[in-house]
Copies of this chain bind each other. A is one copy, B any other.
């Protein structure tokens, strides 16, 4: 199966799975489910859950078994986007080319939608079929740490409230805000398939470099992207007075850095057999437009 076919197979399974949760029929509070589904099913790239599924496959299990883990992480990622767009955070009007959650449903429901997505994520992991209790405990714990007060939320605090001035600070921020969750996505697939520890370390290193490449490319697109393709307003980082990699390195420097991270990502998993899909995924990150 070629890259695109495999990616589509993963993506379709993820969409179907996510479409099956937060159903609203007959509930007096059904607008909550509606608002969650609005954001959750808005057609993201699903890179994170795709990583989970691919690492589960590489670890030798039927990747469908890892769908609850993959979608749990995607749920947490999506709650963080809803809260990140709030007026008291980045105050964004547009996400994936559509009005942000609070623009459509109001702030109250946007806060509550995000709040309800976290426990649901843990529920998916805890109830995953065909995986042992110890495996599910390990997976849920991994997610809890990744999205907690020393993980993703810490990154959000640095991004919105702390003044980051240099590359070290910016990379630290990005590792927490986006990198930790991308690494957790890869690692969840390793956990699901009980991958040996040395492969798991390689997977985390791959994801770490991929995450950095992803973030630097994001900063580039914020300057030079096409709004209609990117799905977010161009120039928003500058408007918010944020330091980005483009400020620190210029566009050419950023392009080189993305290239460097991509090479390092690929190198990290050279020893894992059948790594073609992950290599191509990394390569495609270099030129992505959205």
**Is A257 an interface residue when CB atoms closer than 8 A count as contact?**
no
Interface size on A, residues (CB 8 A): 55
Does A228 touch B at the CB level, under 8 Å?
no
What's the minimum C-beta distance from A53 to chain B, rounded to whole angstroms?
22
Residue of B nearest to A86 (CB): B111
Greatest chain B CB density within 10 A among A148, A157, A162 is at A157
Min Cβ gap A283→B in Å is 33
- B158 near A28 with CB under 8 A, answer yes
A223 within 8 A of B: no
Q: Does A89 contact B (CB under 8 A)?
A: yes
17 contacts between A and B (CB under 8 A): A29-B162, A32-B149, A36-B149, A79-B115, A83-B111, A88-B107, A88-B111, A89-B108, A89-B111, A109-B157, A111-B111, A116-B153, A119-B145, A120-B144, A120-B149, A122-B140, A133-B137
- A-B interface, 5 closest residue pairs, ranked by CB to CB distance from nearest: A88-B107, A116-B149, A133-B133, A116-B153, A119-B148
Interface residues of A, Cβ cutoff 8 Å to B: 22, 27-29, 31-33, 36, 79-80, 83, 86, 88-89, 106-109, 111-112, 114-120, 122-123, 126-127, 132-134, 136-137, 140-141, 143-145, 147-151, 153-154, 156-158, 160-162, 172
